[in-house]
Amino acid sequence: MNLEYVDLKSDTTFKYLFKSKNGRSWISNIVLNITGVNLEEYELYDNELNSGNKKKDYRLDLLLKNINKDYTIIEMNNSTEADAIKSKYYAHRLVGKKFNEGEKYVETKTYLINFNNFCNSKMKELTKADFIPTDEATGLKLEDMRVFEIYLPNYHNMCYDKCNETEKKLWLFGCESFEEMKSQNLSDEDRWIVEELERLAMDQKFIDEYDAEHVNQMLMNTKYDEGYDSGYDSGYDSGYDNGKSEEKFKIAKEMLTENIPVEQISKITKLTLEEIEKLKDEM
């Protein structure tokens, strides 16, 4: 049986794993060893930190809060450095929100942890970084905030056998198949992650959400391009098929509201031009 590969870098996957006991423990272990932030002391506060846009952001924001009113934001950034910049803006807004609500501003902390599916533009081989950001308006350091950047591609470029346990976990994020994941001598915890991803690949409800995320990501990426053609032809020539006709029509309708050409909708959803035109007439 050929299973659709479930990518660890997917927002849908990352969020699901974090909400499971073993998955959260696995992610928390990575975060603790890279940043020193102990997520076991935090509770999930909100799944999405509203950006202020009227349209829903199809990216992950895991927002957590501890008893000291410290916040930790975990982001999976799959597009460009622009995503990481936006997450810094969100964290900055959160610091300001705490101040406006009268919390003990000086005594609380906000941590932003970015899992980036791209390399640092200035230091291509950088694997991780942390810093205290500066308020561009005042030039003052935001001492109550700390940003951690994790550059996933560079962990996958490491020699697996020479990696420590945390690096081996981060190496898995760069895999492109279950076979590649299982090609290494995995720890029990890492093997559980792979087996859970394989189980999710057989969960049709999860796969529908997982596939819809890819289409939504395409919609967002296209907005950054000069034309629709370059936005959809790059990396998606194989098209899109989620196995459920009702889900295809739902996604096609969403794409029509974004004024995406029917030819490209057909390429992605595998619906015929006639089906899409009929759907368009019914809207």
Q: What is the pLDDT of residues 42-92, one digit of tens each?
A: 998 865 444 343 334 434 468 899 998 888 999 888 766 666 666 666 666
- For residue 78, give the DSSP letter: -
Alpha-carbon distances of 50 from 35, 61, 70, 105, 254, rounded to whole Å: 25, 9, 18, 21, 20
pLDDT at res. 181: 98
Strongest mean pLDDT among 25-29, 54-58, 274-278: 25-29
If DSSP codes are grouped into helix, strand and coil, which group holds residue 43?
A: strand
- DSSP β-ladder status, 145-151 and 128-131: antiparallel
The pLDDT tens digits of the residues spanning 16-25 come to 999 999 999 9
Secondary element (H or E) of residue 74: strand 71-77
Question: Which residues does residue 134 pair with via DSSP β-bridges, in sequence order?
Answer: 141
Secondary element (H or E) of residue 61: strand 60-66
Mean pLDDT rounded to a whole number for the chain: 79
Q: How far apart are CA 70 and CA 154, in angstroms?
A: 30
Q: How far apart are CA 172 and CA 177, in angstroms?
A: 10
For the cut 80, the answer to whether the pLDDT of residue 105 exceeds it is no
Alpha-carbon distances of 9 from 54, 248, 280, rounded to whole Å: 26, 23, 33
The pLDDT tens digits of the residues spanning 200-214 come to 999 988 888 887 777
**Neighbouring C-alpha atoms within 13 Å toward the C-beta of 248:** 17
Residue of higher predicted confidence among 225 and 260: 260
By the 8 A CB rule, do 146 and 130 touch? yes
Instruction: Report domain extents, the chain.
Output: 11-201, 204-282
pLDDT at res. 218: 61
pLDDT at res. 192: 98
pLDDT at res. 200: 94
pLDDT at res. 91: 67
CB atoms within 10 A of CB 196: 18
Alpha-carbon distances of 116 from 25, 106, 158, 188, 278, rounded to whole Å: 20, 29, 16, 25, 40
Query: Structure pTM?
Result: 0.71
Residue 21 buriedness (CB in 10 A; 0-12 / 13-18 / 19+): exposed
Angle at CA of residue 66, ends 170 and 78, nearest 5°: 35
CB atoms within 10 A of CB 182: 15
For the cut 60, the answer to whether the pLDDT of residue 10 exceeds it is yes
